[in-house]
Amino acid sequence: MKRLFRFLALTVAVILGGCGKPDFSDAEKKTIASLMLSALPQLKPDTTNRFADVPAAAALGSTLFFDLGMSRDGTVSCSTCHKIDRQFQDDLPQAVGVGRTNRRTMPLAGVARDPWFFWDGRRDSLWAQALTPLENPLEQAGNRAAYAHYIKARFGERYERIFGPLPDFSGIPLNASPLGTDAEKSAWNTMSDPQRDAINRVYANIGKAIAAFERSIEPSQTRFDRFALDLVTGAEPKEDAAFSREEILGLKLFIGKANCVTCHNGPRFTDNGFHNTGVPPVADLPPDRGRVDAVAQVEADPFNCFGAYRDGDVSACGELRFMVKDAPQLVRAYKTPSLRGAATRAPYMHAGQFSSLDEVVAHYAKPAPSVEGTSEIHPLELSDRERAALVAFLKTLAE
């Protein structure tokens, strides 16, 4: 009788103990391990930017990043939209610089690991990306000749210590750019080829300095990473590393039935690819076809990897060389965003279409067909409880 009682007590203890411990299969554990921040490899050198890991370049880049002088009217800097205390984004559905743009500001954690930049990948390096808002009339609205003059006047000495002598500015118009106003374009056309090249070089170096700074912006550890580390090492999760039943269900759905991990994979929760997920357009914005229209833009960019301003050899240009240029899958395809920190940076999608994670999960559960092209999303059967669990799990990536 005593023995039977002991056996029953043991059984109860095992069952209760089992309740507290999450039950994951080996395959699930393997997937979870692949998502942990500690699985993130070391940042690779960027051979296209030989200043990428030069501290003085990063320091100058940081100055420029926060400098309102880096705009047409002295009111906008990179940090206007990429706010340092807001994961380097701005919480707005569409970014507002000098004017209102048509896209959501992207956060910057881990940005140096991206193969493509912007929601549609219309730039192929971090330094080429950094140059684009500087001349966009809706963002910083400046022009490259004016930026070069500004660098010489404000940061000439710092610039020359990093990049070598500034060019001869005599005869260089105060405002000139191949992309600017009509006056700026005609001023650009009056310049000689060596003058244009000299200004482009200073301009590229501005991007390379800003990129050097942005390489330091990396994702930080979250509750999920602490939970995952304990799970894969077999340790007892302590304090906030322990997941609630709802969070565990959410994680299981994320890597299982809900198929989120198909695209949101790896330690940054992104496949760095472009997908049409049937996200609806915003009514009052200009037509937006995503990746399919970005292909020509990145090919035409003089600062792309094949261009004259790349450092290092052409072997670094594989992404551009083997880019998909013409395929139906590119229509309204947008970059898979990282989900780290996503829970605390609504709104979501490339033009801030969804104001909460609940709306995002609801969209994926019942995807509408894409207005153009074909959505890759399969409909999901998710109960209310399962949707809430997915959101609960996503929050662990932002705590």
Partner 1 sequence: MRSIRQNVVCRRGTGLASLWRYLLAGLGLAALLVGVLAVVYLTAPQSAQPVGPDVSRTKNTDNGLFVASFAPERGVVRQGELESWLLTLKTKAGAPVEGAAISISGGMPQHNHGLPTSPQATDYLGDGRYRIEGVKFTMGGWWQLHFAISASAGSDTVLFNVVL
What does the binding site for partner 1 look like in residue numbers (CB under 8 A)? 261-263, 265-266, 271-275, 318-319, 321-325, 327, 329, 374, 376
Q: How far is the CB of 17 from partner 1 (least distance, A)?
A: 32
Nearer to partner 1 among residue 195 and residue 276 (C-beta):
276
Distances (CA, A) of 15 to 8, 10, 11, 19, 378: 11, 9, 6, 6, 37
Min CB(116)–partner 1 separation in Å: 10
Residues 14 and 179: beta-carbon distance below 8 Å: no
| Separation of alpha carbons 127 and 111, rounded Å | 11
Q: Quick check: 66 and 78 in contact, CB under 8 A?
A: yes
∠ Cα 126 63 204 (to 5°): 40
Please give the structure tokens belonging to residue 263: 């695209």
| Distance in angstroms between the alpha carbons of the first and the last residue of the chain | 50
Closer to partner 1 by Cβ: residue 59 or 323: 323
Please give the Cα distance from 191 to 194 (Å, whole number). 8
Least distance from partner 1 to the Cβ atom of residue 351, Å: 22
Sign of the CA dihedral running 128, 134, 137, 139: positive
Overall residue count recorded for the chain in this entry: 399
Question: What is the Cα–Cα distance from 152 to 140, expressed in whole angstroms?
Answer: 19
To partner 1, the closest distance from the beta carbon of 327 in angstroms equals 5
Decide whether 145 or 333 has the Cβ nearer to partner 1.
333
Cβ nearer to partner 1, comparing 196 with 350: 350
Nearer to partner 1, 9 or 324 (CB): 324
> 60 or 295, CB closer to partner 1?
295
CB of 322 to partner 1, least distance (A): 3
Torsion of CA 376, 382, 385, 390, to 10 degrees: -20
Nearer to partner 1, 39 or 388 (CB): 39
CB of residue 259 vs partner 1: minimum separation in angstroms? 9
Give min distance, CB of 190 to partner 1, in A: 40
Contact (CB, 8 A) for 162 and 151: no
**Residue 398 C-beta: closest distance to partner 1, Å:** 23
DSSP 8-state code for residue 290: B
The Cα 122–Cα 112 span in angstroms is 15
Distance CA 132, CA 198 (A): 18
Residue 79 vs 272, nearer CB to partner 1: 272
* Burial of residue 7, with CB atoms counted within 10 A of its CB: 0-12 exposed, 13-18 middle, 19 or more buried: exposed
Element (H or E) spanning 334, and its range?
A: strand 334-335
Q: How far is the CB of 275 from partner 1 (least distance, A)?
A: 7
Closer residue to partner 1 in complex, CB, 335/395: 335
Single-letter amino acid, residue 174: L
